[in-house]
């Protein structure tokens, strides 16, 4: 039986969760499968070296391709996941905040003995669990292919660090539309802020290495706090965790205060 907002949210989002879990798993599997080609084929090195510096930022560092853990950190966690999982997190955050209100279902839920705080917290916890499930899909995709790929091996501690920080980044990405959406009830505002953050972060981090005047602004990018290759080599910087965690907590607190007071359309 569906007895809570948390369970209902998971049930409502079951196809979304399944679809994105499979999608992230497939992307991870593909990236692992490409490792031999990237690792052994010198022509890719030559191709990347011939690119302008800004484009090299899109491809990642060549030195990262020599080891599987840095390869997967750079090519999957550093370049592709922030964009793909970021988009997924935004869609999810919007779905859990403004969609019900637009359909009129939020009023129906709030006509029951369910407090706004309880609804808010259970929805956000559902967001957390759905993102965690998709990350399980990602790991499953990697491990499904790794046994067939020579030298494709990653230390479990390294993987745990990468997943932990990826999860935190996805939670921050998902919390932005969730918080703006639930605080305002406006899809346009939530979408605009989220896209500005994700695309802005991606562009800023990608081009900062090549454009001098952008370097000073690079800490404004959320990706600045998710240096995947450095996480593999040097471990997690707790200052990065603090920044992403603080953004998430502050957004949640502000959104909860606003949601408890505002009119529901």
Partner 1 sequence: MNTASIIRLSGVTKQFGKFRAVSNMTLEIEPGQVVGFVGANGAGKTTTISMLLGFLGTSQGEIELFGETILPSNAHMAHRQIGYAAGDMELPGQLTGAQYLAFLRHQRKSGSDEQYQALLKRFSPQLNKKISALSRGNKQKIALVAAFVGEPDLVVLDEPTSGLDPVMQDAFLDLVRGYKQSGKTIFMSSHYLQEVMDVCDRVILMSHGKVVEDVQTSQLLAMGGKHVSILTGYKATKPPKAAESIEVSEDRGVLRLEFVYKSDMAELQRWVAAVKQLHDIEISEYNLEEAFKSLYQTEETA
What is the closest distance, in whole angstroms, from the C-beta atom of residue 134 to partner 1 in the complex? 19
What is the closest distance, in whole angstroms, from the C-beta atom of residue 95 to partner 1 in the complex? 11
CA atoms within 13 A on the CB side of 198: 28
157/263 with CB nearer partner 1: 263
13/161 with CB nearer partner 1: 13
Closest listed residue to residue 206, CA positions, set 218, 195, 197, 194: 218
5/32 with CB nearer partner 1: 5
CA distance 222 to 246: 12
Q: What are the DSSP calls for 123-186, one per residue?
A: HHHHHHHHHHHHHHHHHHHHHHHGGGSTT----HHHHHHHHHHHHHHHHHHHHHHHHHHHHH--
Closest listed residue to residue 141, CA positions, set 89, 72, 232: 72
Structure tokens at 7: 């369970």
What is the closest distance, in whole angstroms, from the C-beta atom of residue 100 to partner 1 in the complex? 8
The residues of the shown chain that bind partner 1, judged by CB under 8 A, are: 1-3, 8, 11-12, 103-105, 107-118, 260-264
102/230 with CB nearer partner 1: 102
101/240 with CB nearer partner 1: 101
What is the closest distance, in whole angstroms, from the C-beta atom of residue 122 to partner 1 in the complex? 12
What is the closest distance, in whole angstroms, from the C-beta atom of residue 187 to partner 1 in the complex? 16
Closest listed residue to residue 205, CA positions, set 231, 226, 235, 176: 226
């Amino acid at each position: 039986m569906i007895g809570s907002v948390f369970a209902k949210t998971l049930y409502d989002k079951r196809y979304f969760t399944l679809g994105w879990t499979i999608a992230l798993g497939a992307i991870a599997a593909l990236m692992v499968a490409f490792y031999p080609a990237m690792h052994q084929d010198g022509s890719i090195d030559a191709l990347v070296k011939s690119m302008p510096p800004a484009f090299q930022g899109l491809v990642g560092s060549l030195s990262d391709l020599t080891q599987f853990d840095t390869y997967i950190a750079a090519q999957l966690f550093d370049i592709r996941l922030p964009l793909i999982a970021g988009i997924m997190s935004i869609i999810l955050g919007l779905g859990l905040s403004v969609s019900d209100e637009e359909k009129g279902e939020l009023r129906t839920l709030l006509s029951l003995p369910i407090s706004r705080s309880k609804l808010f917290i259970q929805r956000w916890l559902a967001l957390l669990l759905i993102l965690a499930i998709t990350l399980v899909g990602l790991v499953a995709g990697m491990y499904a292919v790794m046994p067939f790929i020579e030298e494709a091996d990653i230390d479990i501690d390294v993987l745990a660090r990468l997943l932990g920080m990826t999860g935190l980044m996805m939670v921050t990405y998902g919390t932005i539309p969730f918080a703006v959406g639930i605080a305002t009830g406006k899809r346009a505002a939530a979408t605009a802020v989220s896209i500005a953050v994700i695309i802005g972060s991606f562009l800023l981090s990608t081009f900062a290495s090549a454009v001098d005047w952008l370097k000073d602004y690079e800490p404004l990018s959320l990706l600045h706090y998710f240096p995947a290759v450095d996480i593999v080599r040097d471990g997690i910087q707790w200052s990065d965790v603090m920044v992403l965690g603080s953004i998430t907590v502050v957004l949640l607190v502000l959104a909860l205060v606003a949601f408890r007071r505002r009119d529901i359309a």
